[in-house]
Structure 1
Amino acid sequence: MTSELVVDVQPKEVSIALLEDKSLVELQSEGRNISFSVGNMYLGRVKKLMPGLNACFVDVGYEKDAFLHYLDLGPQFNSLEKYVKQTLSDKKKLNPITKATILPDLEKDGTVSNTLKVGQEVVVQIVKEPISTKGPRLTSELSFAGRYLVLIPFNDKVSVSQKIKSSEERARLKQLLMSIKPKNFGVIVRTVAEGKRVAELDGELKVLLKHWEEAIVKVQKATKFPTLIYEETSRAVGLLRDLFNPSFENIYVNNEAVFNEIKDYVTLIAPERAGIVKLYKGQLPIYDNFGITKQIKSSFGKTVSYKSGAYLIIEHTEALHVVDVNSGNRIKNANGQEANALEVNLGAADELARQLRLRDMGGIIVVDFIDMNEAENRQKLYERMCANMQKDRARHNILPLSKFGLMQITRQRVRPAMDVNTTETCPTCFGKGTIKSSILFTDTLESKIDYLVNKLKIKKFSLHIHPYIAAYINQGVLSLKRKWQMKYGFGIKIIPSQKLAFLEYVFYDPQGEEIDMKEEIEIK
């Protein structure tokens, strides 16, 4: 299996698509102005204590206060809190953490009322993004994640991933990290560190220590609350950190700044693989060029077809996700109903595992498979689902089919499920149901071009339109495009874009910024 990463950088958002054998399996999108990402750290202020929940609400700058439970304060909270108070009180001198006093661990059966008070400043880290009506979820057990290591301040232990099976390798890594880590820091050794040399681990440890030092300097200089003291790496680099493996053939990026950022990171962790990072300079939108737009349109929405006419119906509720498996109008299996049900269910298991990763669905997922009578077939389906989910990085648990034919899955949820609306509002009538004659559409485009060139004096721009319209405009030797260029100049580019609706159009300037030329006309 080969993997490719395609990064689409737009003025308002960055989206990342992971392809496995050309099939879209993960899609992540983030607004470029959004700063509430998992891993970010804040110097916040306690707004309200909730003794009944043994928790509190903390102001970290989000519209809804973030939730912090007593058990999420972490065993070393007393040491961290004392150090933060000393740092805030002395703006001139910063005491290194290696000289900090380590206090006894926080009592497991203590109460939030005896530990915190309203108005108190606390250093917190986001572990779950705002979902639906809930604010972010926080922890005070801080951690700085790298590719090989996770650094934990005020914890003097070294833990090694359980997935490293060799006892000799586990002992080697533990001894190695104990010898190079500073005092009052704990380290978790990740699975990918297996077999790595001391120089590689020491290099990443220094990077993570630098992140801590920069964060605590921001705490010392803080003049307002809340304040962001540590920002996770960009989504592109963050995804790479967790996903990168030797099977990556290519990483395509359509923005030079993000391309350099990713190239620097890959050069740092795998210098021999730096050549796989490539800057995309094609005229077509990057997702159209790699066939991703079409997969997005067909993979999201309530109904998802997979093979031979079978399909899934996916419903989202506040409490859980419900998936119904339907055989549709597929040709029945010659071996009877049981064989037909097994074939449809196994295909559904393959598609569902992809959908869970693609939409990043979390919480409780209940799947209604087609009923099967034989216990052997039900076990086959369960084993197929477990095998498919092994590629999923999120923590999950799968239960065998119940006697009602339902499979229950729980999957870690740290951010809202990806929900892409695949329906299109008519760009001409704006949902009113009546439009001007479509044959006049090219006349409308020409009037917009005339206004841009002659009134706004914009000579260079690109017009993004539906591929069918682009084919019509480019048709023939004396095409409309050629006529427009002869009349208004050769700075006009026509770009087909699959994400646009049939009579939708968008103008962009040479810097990639949208030129708003839309106008909604009331139709009588």
Structure 2
Amino acid sequence: MNKEIVINAAPTGVEIALLEDKKLVELHSEKSDGRFAVGDLYLGKVKRLMPGLNAAFIDVGFEKDAFLHYTDLSPYAKSLLKFTNMAMAATDANPVDFSKFSVEPEIVKTGKISEVLGGKPHVLVQILKEPIAAKGPRLSCELSLPGRFVVITPFNNIVAVSKKIHSSEERKRLQKIIEAVKPKNFGVIVRTAAEGKNTAELYEDLGNLVNIWNTVQQNLRGAVAPTKIFSEQNKTNSILRDLLSADYNRIVTNDKNIYNETKNYIQKIAPEKAEIVNQAQGNVFDILGITKQVKGSFGKTVTLNSGAYLIIEHTEALHVVDVNSGYKNVGNNQEQNALETNLEAAAEIARQLRLRDIGGIIVVDFIDMKLAENKKKLFDTMEEVMQADRAKHSVLPISKFGLMQITRQRMRPEVNINTQEVCPSCNGSGKITSTLVLEDEIEKNLNYLITHKHKNLKLIVHPIVYGYLTKGLWWSSKLSKWNKKFGQKTRIEKDTAYQLTEYHFFDSNEEEIKF
């Protein structure tokens, strides 16, 4: 599979597209003034405890207080609170030596939030989910600092190896290396990218993360909540760190600084792939046709190559996808037609979930099939195409109602590019005032103005309405009849900028008359 990363820099921020075989599968954006990104560390102040929710609202400087649930506190929450206070009070003469830090007992899984955060202390938290709509950030106290090959987790000594490394011998080798080189009071998770790496590479990556933790300690000195303590590296590098593999064969950007940073980063983590970085001029999204894909991939209706199409709708509680066969027809067998359409739709649904980063509950109404083996084949295909999705997800078999349920973790704020706008004539109602009713309304208002001694009136309307009111001979038009009826001449003009049912009256001073 041909994989590419395209980075388009603009004054408002950076857009990042991930392509698989030239097809857009993920779209990320990083605003130049973006705050509260996933992974950022903040010193927060507990504002409110909610015993009914077993959660707390934390002030981290966002307009809405952030949410911290008890299950996100981490078993080492007491150690974190203790460390936060010590680091804030530390001085050059009395620094905190983390290797000698005494870890507190773990909290119980079924405890109460008030037992841990009673007294509303300052607490070091990490952004788990970015602010979405009217909700503030979601927080976690299970701090983790990710690197290229390992992730460190303070306050524990556990070493874990990614289960995606299938060789038991390789897993044992990596575990022995990390156990030999890791500092005290740090847990380490070995990532899939560490497979085959030597001790020097793992030690260097681990050392970089320990240095970051030391920076966090320094930044906590004398800090006043709420404040940012440490920011995750820019999204471009974090995506490269998490995604870059031998599968990617091209990275394109239009920004010289990003080009140099990306090339330096790749030379450091994967020198053999430095030549895949390319610099282009202008808007690379337009040049490579990504803008066109973005416009065609969002919206309520998504059309497939065969003529089949999806209807994607969102509610407060869940997301619904309806599969329609359209003009697709592979034979006279209805069951086979349904299967082929459903299999094609499954691949596109998996892509749409990644592309829009749809999270929560997704209900898919596939075309009905009768044979159990076809339903099983569709379920297996759905699981297979979802494997490329980095987000945690779960797929359930098709129910007796013909529905498939999927749950998916949202990785970032949902990408929702609005491809429709409210009709300016009907304001989204789907209805406009009929010509007869509009005519009566104008006549009634004209009568009102003349009765209240307004003279030399001017009426401006849409060209179509203008034609309707002035059609016929000058003595038989609707406007002429009004002039005779009210005994006063009213001028009429047309304006192409007006909506169909829009009209305004003006007095002799060319001032609009408001009703």
Give the match for residue 408 of structure 1: 405
* Alignment of structure 1 residues 303-314 onto 2, 5 Å: 303-314=301-312
Which whole-Å deviations, capped at 9, do the CAs of 1:199-242 have from their partners, x for residues lacking one?
110111111111111111111141x3111111111111111111
The residue type paired with residue 331 of structure 2 is A
How far off its partner does 1:424 sit? 7.1
**Is 1:31 matched up with 2:28?**
no
Verify the 8 A CA contact 1:49 1:118 in the aligned structure 2.
no
Q: Which residue matches 1:42?
A: 42
Instruction: Give runs of aligned pairs for residues 374-385 of structure 1, distance below 5 A.
Output: 374-385=371-382
Q: Match of 1:398, as an amino acid?
A: V
Q: SS at 1:206's partner residue? A: helix
Shift of 1:90: 2.8
Decide which of 342, 350, 355 is 2:352's aligned counterpart.
355
8 A contact 1:307–1:347 mirrored in 2: no
> Where does structure 1 differ by over 6 angstroms across 4 or more consecutive aligned residues?
424-427
Structure 1 position 412, deviation (Å): 0.9
CA shift at 1:425, angstroms?
9.1
In the alignment, what sits opposite 2:139? 138
- Give the conservation status (yes or no) of the 8 Å contact 2:80–2:123: no
Work out whether residues 130 and 415 of structure 1, in 8 Å CA contact, stay in contact via their aligned partners in 2: no
Secondary structure at the residue paired with 1:42?
strand
Residue 279 of structure 1: aligned partner: 279
Matches within 5 A, 1:180-219: 180-219=181-220
Return the alpha-carbon distance in structure 1 between the equivalents of residues 336 and 111 of structure 2: 57
Task: Tell me the distance in 2 between the aligned counterparts of 1:302 and 1:225.
Answer: 43
Paired with 1:188 and 1:322, the residues of 2 have a C-alpha distance of 36
- After superposition, where does 1:340-489 map in structure 2 within 5 Å? 340-423=337-420
In structure 2, the residue matched to 1:151 is: 152
| 1:337–1:145 Cα change, 3 Å | same
State the match for 2:162 in structure 1: 161
Q: Which runs of 5+ in 1 are unaligned?
A: 432-521
Shift of 1:118: 4.8
How far residue 30 of structure 1 moved from its aligned partner, in angstroms, is 2.4
Work out the CA distance in 1 between the residues paired with 2:113 and 2:132: 24
Query: Which of these residues, 300, 303, 306, is aligned with residue 302 of structure 1?
Result: 300
Task: Give the corresponding residue for 2:315.
Answer: 317
SS in structure 1 at match of 2:369 = coil
Q: Which amino acid aligns with 1:350?
A: A
Post-superposition offset of 1:422: 2.6
Distance 1:299 1:353 in 2: 13
- SS class of match (1:245): coil
For residues 390-428 of structure 1, give each alpha carbon's deviation from its aligned partner in whole angstroms, at most 9, with x where no partner exists.
11111111011111111100111132211112347999x
For 1:60, the equivalent position in structure 2 comes to 60
2:371 maps to a residue whose letter is E
Counterpart residue identity of residue 247, structure 2: S
SS at match of 1:410: strand
Contact 2:77 2:107 in 1 (8 A): yes
Figure out how many residues of one structure are paired with residues of the other and give that number: 426
Which residue does the alignment assign to 2:112? 111
The CA distance in 1 between the partners of 2:78 and 2:149, in whole Å, is 28
Aligned partner of residue 414 in structure 2, secondary structure: coil
What is residue 75 of structure 1 aligned with on the other side? Answer: 75
Query: 1:261 is matched with which residue?
Result: 261
Report the AA paired with residue 168 of structure 2: S
**Looking at CA atoms only, which structure, 1 or 2, has the larger radius of gyration?**
2
**Distance (whole Å) between structure 2 residues aligned to residue 349 and residue 273 of structure 1:** 33
The one-letter code of the counterpart of 2:70 is Y
User: RMSD over aligned Cα, in angstroms?
Assistant: 1.9
One-letter code aligned to 2:245 = N
Cα distance change, pair 114–426 in 1 and its aligned pair in 2 (3 A): closer
Aligned to 1:469: none
Asked whether the 8 Å contact 1:6–1:17 carries over to 2, the reply is yes
Q: Distance in 2 between matches of 1:164 and 1:138?
A: 30
The answer on whether the counterparts of 1:46 and 1:117 sit within 8 Å (CA) in structure 2 is: no
Equivalent AA in structure 1 for residue 311 of structure 2:
I
Contact 2:2/2:247 (<8 A) preserved = yes
Report SS of the residue matched to 1:401. coil
Give, in whole Å, the separation in 1 of the partners of 2:404 and 2:358. Answer: 15
* Shift in CA distance, 253/81, structure 1 to aligned 2, threshold 3 Å: same
- Residue range with higher mean Cα deviation, 360-369 or 321-330: 321-330
Query: Partners in 1 of 2:91 and 2:266 — Cα distance?
Result: 37
**Pairing 1:246–2:246 present:** yes
Question: How many Å apart are 1:367 and its aligned residue?
Answer: 0.4
